Structure 1
Amino acid sequence: MDCPNACTPVAERVEELLAAGGPLPVVTAGHPVLRRGAEPFDGQLEPALLARFVEALRLTMHAAPGVGLAAPQVGVPLRIAVLEDPAPVPEEVRRARGRVPQPFRVLVNPSYEPVGAARAAFYEGCLSVPGWQAVVARHAEVRLRAQDEHGRSVDEVFTGWPARIVQHETDHLDGTLYLDRAELRSLSSNETLAARWAQPTPEEAARALGFELP
């Protein structure tokens, strides 16, 4: 049978995942797929299968819940990620973190570069590192280049929390976890974070735990 794309191993893996129905299982730190750079998307999934996979990523992201999800996080080594953030946060947090609502987006073969030298540091978590968060200093503004799920070019500048999401999810496609960039002295369980470090910014945590902010 002639099926150069539909019968690729990655397509077979996606079909297996989708056959189970519901949210996809999220792989966690220690799984090799999270540490290998994902391969560029170049038609490994035919359009109908890609659409189904994207919808499954969206469902999984919502169910977690999270604001972004990369294909390697469900065991698929392709440069595809989704993001969406309704930003249901208090006004004080919104102002401090630059967290504004983001519509659902599909990023295919994304890359980013910093815009300016400003950096911002906030607590950050990851669906593949459940139960923990740490402070990560990231570029405050980035330029994203990618394609969407229909092959249309994306070239957009993101600032604040949306820029953080873009960097976090794109890093996943390069085999990088947020812990690789984190201030490890800030590492906190979700319970401790909620009890002690729920402020809009991590200044108090930095003083108490002994780490520096940019």
Structure 2
Amino acid sequence: MDFETRPLPAGPDTTFTASEIRSAVQDLLGLDGLPPIVQVGHPVLRQRAAPYDGQLEDTELAQLIERMRDVMHAAPGVGLAAPQLGIPLQLAVLEDRFDVDPVASEIRQRTPLGFFAILNPGYEPEGTSTASFYEGCLSMRGFQAVVTRHRDVRLHYQRPDGSAASGGFSGWQARIVQHETDHLHGGLYLDRAELRSLANDGEYSAHWAYPGIDEARRGLGFLNP
């Protein structure tokens, strides 16, 4: 059965100016090691990030994307938005190279996603099908919850070279696209989650780590038809 997606509450716009964004990026790039991932409660995660319109030099943008990729790999994760590093800019990196159990991959429609960076993204559903699965976030470590998302979306975005792009994504790839785009508009997965499903990692592993969510839905009493 398909369930409805929850709307994303609107967040306030970032108060950072273009010069403040560039200064924050330069500070980040000047660090000796990888920067920490901002955790829930920090205002940057709840503000709409500034659209990218040339605030950075091309080399700075390329270096920021590479640093974000390094942080994503080290976490590890399948996506990272600039606000998660304290940079209120509409930029995210995505890549899913995890080897997942074949049964889980089939149920979740999870296939490898090659690395790419998106600027100023927006998405729209393609069709009416939805999918409900547990997901987590690098900015809310230790917890997971069930989120209903569009099964198929079309993503519109800008490439780092400034060209416009559009592409269709399905299954788990569509989930990653939606999760990271929401970050850039001040959204977290909790805004769309079934809160009765919320579990810390230990309890999730002990009770609800199945490819689907039927056991969790019955045991925790959420998403009842």
Alignment TM class, shorter chain as reference: over 0.9
**2:41 alignment partner, one of 17, 25, 30:** 30
Q: Following TM superposition, by how much is the alpha carbon of 1:21 offset from its aligned partner in structure 2, in angstroms?
A: 2.9
Per-residue CA distance 1:166-198 (angstroms, 9 max, x = gap): 000000000010000000000000111111111
Runs of at least 4 residues off by over 6 Å: none
- Aligned residue for 1:199? 210
2:201 maps to 1:190: yes
Contact 1:24 1:57 in 2 (8 A): no
Q: Quote the Cα distance in structure 1 between the aligned partners of 2:153 and 2:77.
A: 21
Query: Unpaired segments of 5 or more residues in structure 2?
Result: 1-17
TM-score, L = length of structure 1: 0.95
**1:146 alignment partner, one of 147, 152, 157:** 157
TM-score, L = length of structure 2: 0.90
- Aligned residue for 1:21? 32
**SS across alignment from 2:211:** coil
Distance 1:39 1:213, change over 3 A: farther
Distance 1:81 1:189, change over 3 A: same
- Aligned residue for 1:61? 72
Task: Give the paired residue count.
Answer: 208
* Higher normalized contact order (CA 8 Å, seq sep 6+, divided by chain length): 2
Give me the identity figure in percent.
Answer: 54
Q: Following TM superposition, by how much is the alpha carbon of 1:50 offset from its aligned partner in structure 2, in angstroms?
A: 0.3
Q: Quote the Cα distance in structure 2 between the aligned partners of 1:187 and 1:18.
A: 35
- Aligned residue for 2:19? 8
Q: Quote the Cα distance in structure 2 between the aligned partners of 1:21 and 1:130.
A: 24
Q: Following TM superposition, by how much is the alpha carbon of 1:87 offset from its aligned partner in structure 2, in angstroms?
A: 3.0
Aligned pairs for 1:1-214 within 5 A: 8-212=19-223
* AA matched with 1:144: L
Q: Following TM superposition, by how much is the alpha carbon of 1:22 offset from its aligned partner in structure 2, in angstroms?
A: 2.7
CA RMSD across the alignment: 1.1
Q: Quote the Cα distance in structure 2 between the aligned partners of 1:170 and 1:60.
A: 18
